[in-house]
Amino acid sequence: MPERKILAAGLLVLWLTLPGVHAQTAAPANPVDPAAVQALKDMGAHLQSLQRFRVITELSGERVLADGQKLQHSATAQMDVQRPNKLRARMTSARSERQLIFDGKTVTLYTPAQKYYSSVDFTGTLADLVEQLEERYGIEVPLSDLFVWGTPLAPLDKIESAMNAGQDFIGDDLCDHYAFRQGKVDWQIWITASGKPLPRKIVITSRADEARPQSVHLIDWNLKPAFGETTFRFTPPKGASKVEIVPRKAK
Amino acid sequence: MKNSSRHLFLASLAVLVLAGFALAPLAEAAGRGGGHGGGGHHAGGGNRNLEVNNNKRDVRTNNVRSTSVNNVNVNKNVNINVDNNRGCCNSGWDNDYHPIATAAAVTATVAVTSAIVGSIVRTVPAGCVPVNYGGYIYQQCGSTWYQPQGNQYIVINPPY
């Protein structure tokens, strides 16, 4: 018994005297670390300043079956972007390939396998485009966050928890790792630590389902892409036919 | 007793360190081997000439529950108040798994349509109309809906 007491006292002394230990074990008063939010602001500002880029992302998504078992699926997307209003996205999986082309006036969704396309007139920025495609047609654009971070569409004042989670390598890039909570969503981001801040990995966990389905994006950047005359133009290939696009129905 | 446990600790530390050395070249090799970096040959689509065949897929893998949400964009899910369960796609640009039905719904569907939801066919009947809904192009054949998957079609519940 006395031995144990001495040990406990010794441990306490050790714990109190070790520099930094006390500060690290106590939970911070503010769950939102302002530096983590500032990192998002800096990244958003940099993203909005990029005039042209190509990103390639590999995505693992999850779906939860009736009994709670989770299945993971894979998809890839390549996005060619020229601000303010040009985009070509190619979304591919084993199940489908789709292309989304926006030339500043018309946005087209094309499925090469069936040679079907749907076009609608649209003017606005890429942030407007991703919002309106979702709102009007229920079409989600890959990595739409890249167009809204750094704009009023991505307010940062609703974040309930923000942490710096240390550093990680994503590929060859050393990244700062941040973790956030907001509503039913936990999410993490890995932002390049040196040079201009770019997101290299994003993980989103849903707490709306107890199985917590999660998506993982790995993102590769090309900031000097070679775009041609036709990169953002859609010309219906021979034999392609136009298909009516049905606006999203209210449930 | 004390000494022996310390020895054990040192020994396991040594094993860890040695294992670390042994593993390092492997990890490097894996990194160089392509992995996902740089968008290898298959990133962004590439040239897919391989025929995808889902004939052997268990029908249960389509039985996605309604609370399952595929969140693939942060702001859409935390800042824009989007109804994720819009009965269409459970969201996500990658989510081309159409939730087909629970067991009970399958039974109900059999009674009202000729094609069983979840069944896979190579061709659709004549007179079907392609419809783009939620960014996916389906074949609507009267009250029966088909979703293309690879070069086959799966019978789904009407998307709207």
**Considering B28, B50, B72, which residue would you say is the last residue of a domain?**
B50
Domain that holds residue B104: 59-156
Closest CB to B67 among A141, A209, A218:
A209
> Which among B68, B73, B136 is the nearest to A209, CB-wise?
B68
Same domain, B145 and B110: yes
Domain count, chain B: 2
Distance CA(B91)–CA(B70), nearest Å, equals 6
Q: Is the same domain home to B75 and B107?
A: yes
Pair B111, B77 in one domain: yes
Same domain for B71 and B114, yes or no, is yes
| Res A215 pLDDT > 80 | yes
Q: Is the pLDDT of residue B108 over 70?
A: no
Chain A neighbors of B72, CB-CB under 8 A: 59, 61, 140, 142, 204, 215, 217
Greatest mean pLDDT range, A38-42, B43-47, B153-157: A38-42
Q: Sheet harboring A245-246: ordered strands across?
A: A245-246, B129-133, B136-141, B144-149, B152-156, B120-121
Q: For the residues A219-235, what does the mean pLDDT come to?
A: 96
Do B44 and B87 fall into the same domain? no
Do B152 and B102 reside in the same domain of the chain? yes
Where in B5-48 does DSSP place strands (E)?
A: none
Is the model's pLDDT at A218 over the cut of 80? yes
- Spatial separation of the C-alpha atoms in residues A215 and A187, rounded to whole Å: 9
Using 50, 70 and 90 to split pLDDT, how confident is the model at A70? very high
Are A185 and B74 within 8 A, CB to CB? Answer: yes
* Whether residue B14 sits in one domain with residue B75: no
> B80 and B21 share a domain?
no
Contact A158 B77 (CB under 8 A): no
Asked if A65 and B63 count as a contact pair (C-beta separation under 8 A), the reply is yes
What are the residue ranges spanned by the domains of chain A?
29-242
* ipTM computed for the complex: 0.76
Q: Which two tokens stand for residue A243?
A: 């298909």
User: Do B40 and B71 share a domain, yes or no?
Assistant: no
8 Å CB contact of B93 and A218: no
Mean pLDDT of B9-27: 45
Residue A236 has pLDDT above 70, yes or no: yes
Same domain, B64 and B45: no
Helix (H) or strand (E) holding A219: strand A214-222
Tokens of B78: 């935390």
The pLDDT value given to residue A95: 80
pLDDT of B53 > 90? The answer is no
* pLDDT score at B147: 87
- Length, in residues, of chain B: 160
What is the reported pLDDT for B12?
52
Can you tell me the mean pLDDT for A49-56? 97
Decide if B48 and A140 are in contact by the 8 Å CB cutoff: no
Check residue B11 and give its pLDDT: 52
Q: Is B77 exposed, middle or buried (0-12, 13-18, 19+ CB in 10 A)?
A: buried
Please provide the CATH number assigned to the domain covering A29-242.
2.50.20.10
What is the residue type of A208?
Answer: A
**Is the pLDDT confidence value at B43 over 70?**
no
3-state helix, strand, coil in chain A (%, to 5): 20, 40, 40
User: Hey, which residues 165-224 in chain A have their CB within 8 Å of chain B?
Assistant: 171-172, 182-183, 185, 187, 202, 204-206, 208-209, 211, 213, 215, 217-218, 220
What is chain A's mean pLDDT, rounded?
A: 91
Residue A230 neighbours by CB distance under 10 Å: 11
Kindly state whether A39 is in contact with chain B, defined as any CB-CB distance less than 8 angstroms.
no
- Give me the pLDDT at residue B149, please: 78
Please tell me the predicted confidence (pLDDT) of residue B54: 72
Burial B114-127 (b: 16+ CB within 10 A, else e): ebebbebeeebeee
Residue A235 confidence (pLDDT): 96
pTM beyond 0.95, yes or no: no
> Do B21 and B90 fall into the same domain?
no
Sign of CA dihedral A154, A155, A159, A162: positive
The winner for highest mean pLDDT among A117-121, B46-50, B58-62 is A117-121
Q: What is the pLDDT of residues A90-99, one digit of tens each?
A: 999 988 899 9
pLDDT score of B45: 40
State residue B2's pLDDT score. 47
Radius of gyration (Cα) for chain B, nearest Å? 25
Q: Are residues B87 and B139 in the same domain?
A: yes
